[in-house]
Amino acid sequence: MTRPWYRRFPDNFIAGTAGLTLEEKGAYSLVLDLMYVRGGPIPDEPRYIAGVCNCSVRKWNAIRARLIQVGKITVVDGCLMNARAEKELENAAKDARELAENGAKGGNKTAENRTASSKTNSLGAAPVQHARATQLQYQDSVLEKAENGLEEPATEPLVDVNKYVDTQLYAACVALSPEKVPKFLDHKLFPLSLVTQAQAAIAAQPTSDEVH
């Protein structure tokens, strides 16, 4: 079950990562985000995760070893997992089931309205769920190619740009990208040089004060 958002407890994270360096904390936070996006453990593929973290594979392997050493992540069947993330995902699935069951019970008008609203929301969410499923298939394809050695090694760092967080930068990167970017993606890894060009293009755009 994928999660477009998840509960995060700042106090717990700060206390739980007190012994880690700044880059170890940052990489750990991104790995947790990947787990929630995927809805569970993520493939233990160094090149892919290093690209998301915008660091070398050697650097990620060192951070990975440290996170395993302190018990933040574990390796199971070729995947990285985190016990707290697994628990939160299970609780979220349980809550969703209980809400669905409660909506099906009762025969009064309130229950009927709730059921109708649930159906409407399900119809509205269907395209989003389909897009996310397609995105995961796309990511799996990229990972499979990397594991089988079908892709050329990355020649420069990659930057993960989110369509909804960095809307303007994402649009500029898509416009400059030599390859067609699938519309269903909500984020993509772009070469650092392309991101730099996109940022320069945005900076060169006239501001509202300059226009007037």
What's the whole-number mean pLDDT along residues 98-123?
63
What's the whole-number mean pLDDT along residues 143-164?
69
What are the residue ranges spanned by the domains of the chain? 1-151, 158-211
Please report, rounded to a whole number, the percentage of residues in the chain having pLDDT higher than 70.
70
Assess contact for 75 and 68: CB atoms under 8 A: yes
What's the whole-number mean pLDDT along residues 43-54?
94
Helix, strand, coil percent content, the chain, rounded in steps of 5: 65, 10, 30
Buried b (16+ CB within 10 A) or exposed e, 58-70: eebeebbebbeee
* Residue carrying the six token digits 């109708």: 116
Residue 18 has a pLDDT of 92
What's the whole-number mean pLDDT along residues 26-38?
92
Helix and strand counts by DSSP (H, E) for the chain: 9, 5
Report H helices in 17-108: 22-38, 46-53, 57-69, 83-104
Residue 128 has a pLDDT of 46
- 131: CB partners within 8 A, 6+ apart: 184, 186
Buried b (16+ CB within 10 A) or exposed e, 25-54: bbbbeebbbbbbbbbebbbbbebbbbbbbb
Rounded Cα distance between 73 and 79, Å, is: 10
The sheet carrying 79-81 orders its strands as 42-43, 79-81, 74-76
> Exposed/middle/buried for 13, CB within 10 Å: 0-12, 13-18, 19+?
middle
Class of domain 1-151: mainly alpha
| 19-33, 71-85, 138-152, 187-201: least confident range | 138-152
| 46-55, 73-82, 88-97: least confident range | 88-97
Query: pLDDT tens digits for 77-90?
Result: 999 999 888 888 88
The backbone torsions φ and ψ at residue 167, rounded to the nearest 5 degrees and listed phi first, read -55, -50
Local confidence band at 131 (pLDDT 50, 70, 90 cut-offs)? very low
190: which strand partners?
159
Residue 210 has a pLDDT of 56
Rounded Cα distance between 190 and 196, Å, is: 10
Local confidence band at 20 (pLDDT 50, 70, 90 cut-offs)? very high
